Amino acid sequence: MSPSLPSAHATTTTTPETSATTLTVDVLGRGGDGLAYDRDGCLTVVPGALPGETVLARLDDLHMAPRRATLLAVESASPERVTPPCPLFARCGGCAVQHLALPAALNWKAATVRQALAQAGFAETCEVSLSQAPAGARRRMDIGVRRTTQGLTLGFHARGGDLLDVRHCLVLAPALDRLLTPLHDLMIRVRGLRRDGDVVVNLLDSGPDILVRTDGALTVDDRALLAAFARAHDIPRIAWAPVDQREPAEIAAQIAPVRHRLAGHAVVPPPGAFLQATADSEAAIRDAVLAMLPPRLAARDEIIELYAGCGTLTFGLAERGRVLAVEGNPDAATCLKQAAGGLRISVLQRDLNRQPLMARELAAKPVVVLDPPRMGAGAQMREIASGAPQRVVYVSCNPQALTKDAALLKAAGYSLAALTIIDQFVWSAEVEAIALFTAPPAKRARRR
């Protein structure tokens, strides 16, 4: 959370014999690092420090703004400090706040979302619901692979940016965690990996679904290796794509059908498809969205769903009314079309960044539901604000993008009516929010 600087404070003393500074930390920054002021009154980032703590730290670069410091010792610990359960915590960039008790982490993330909305102009209070996923439930992993003269590294990026070899991760569901070492041993032998690649694994109902990206083409032997790996580890499908291109993936090995269910409906997600991080969080997001719909929809009413993906929300929405589901990715849109037969769902494949639905197409709608990418809805959000549908249900994975997009709704006269905050990325700085915005009464009246 970006602090309000006048409210942050720190007392600093310099210890000459150690060239260290004592700081009192007031807030957590957006990335989960402690923020304080150093002896010169400059804002200082102290990774590993928590609000209320007095710490001994070394200032690393006096020319940066904000300055950065290395935590040397915690002299007075926060009551919310806990022992990080992972030995890689200080190095791995995947988890930012393993040293913060989970209830406190949820409250911090909730404050981050509330501040994002306040910065957009929504300072009013509203009904807020909070939930948190457990560790060991993540069903998607995106891991980097690098081959050097020293060997092969497979894992997550360290805080400094380099790839860190990881063979065990407490965040992942056990079925994915068990694959880390076998995948490392597999990628050593894949000749199509010259230097850099990555592996995306989704845990579907049918089992792990793997997409391998490499910087070289697969050889015949590589394909045989992938097929043998699939058989040995009960992997229904392994796909491949070039690491530096966005062309559709090709199936390198398949030993069984791929199947998955979204809100009880069978889908066949494309390789590397987007899934919510945990199954429980997916259900919580869907329940929150459905609770924010109008209580009654007429037979002629249509729910507009933007950035629909493979149908994470679509099938639940269709239980409440007719749905126009718009998705830009061709593979995801095709997946949704194939699963939507016989349901009250129309699917439109359309790049909303380049060709947003226009204000006139949204003006008479009772509700627009959108789950945009991390950078937000961009041009599409301007059309929503201009069209002023009665309700806007916004699913956000990025508080900064939420601030930018929600500010357009505030300028159009919308009010914040309800908010759900879900910590589905446990121990990270990421947070999911679902916000209901309602149009001003005058605009709602003109549509009746």
Annotated catalytic residues are: 397
DSSP, collapsed to helix, strand or coil, labels residue 288 as: helix
Distance from C-alpha of 137 to C-alpha of 424, rounded to nearest angstrom:
9
Supply the DSSP string of 207-226, one letter for each residue. EEEEEEEESSPPPHHHHHHH
Select from 55, 50, 11 the least CA-distant residue to 29: 50
Q: CA angle, corner 43, sides to 39 and 48, nearest 5?
A: 95
CA distance linking residue 55 with residue 36, whole number of Å: 10
Please give the helix or strand (H or E) that residue 336 lies within, else none: helix 330-339
80 belongs to an annotated ligand binding site = no
Closest residue by Cα to residue 158 from 99, 64, 95? 95
Q: Is 307 annotated as a binding residue?
A: yes
Beta-carbon contacts of 168 under 8 Å, excluding residues fewer than 6 positions away, are 177, 180
Pairing of β 367-370 and β 302-306: parallel
Cα distance between residue 440 and residue 307, in whole Å: 25
Backbone angles phi, psi at 367, to 5 degrees: -160, 140
Tokens of 374: 């991390």
Q: What is the three-class DSSP state of 361?
A: helix
| 185 has binding-site annotation | no
Q: Residue 325's closest CA among 368, 293, 287? A: 368
Nearest alpha-carbon partner for 117 in 435, 448, 439, 432: 435
**Is the CB of residue 99 less than 8 Å from the CB of residue 82?**
yes
Tell me which residue of 432, 267, 266, 246 sits closest to 328, measured CA to CA: 246
276 is in an annotated binding site: yes
Cα(256)–Cα(400) distance, integer angstroms: 42
Q: Which sign, positive or negative, has the C-alpha torsion 121, 123, 125, 129?
A: positive
Query: Binding site: which residues?
Result: 276, 307, 327, 371
In the annotated binding site for S-adenosyl-L-methionine, the residues are 276, 307, 327, 371
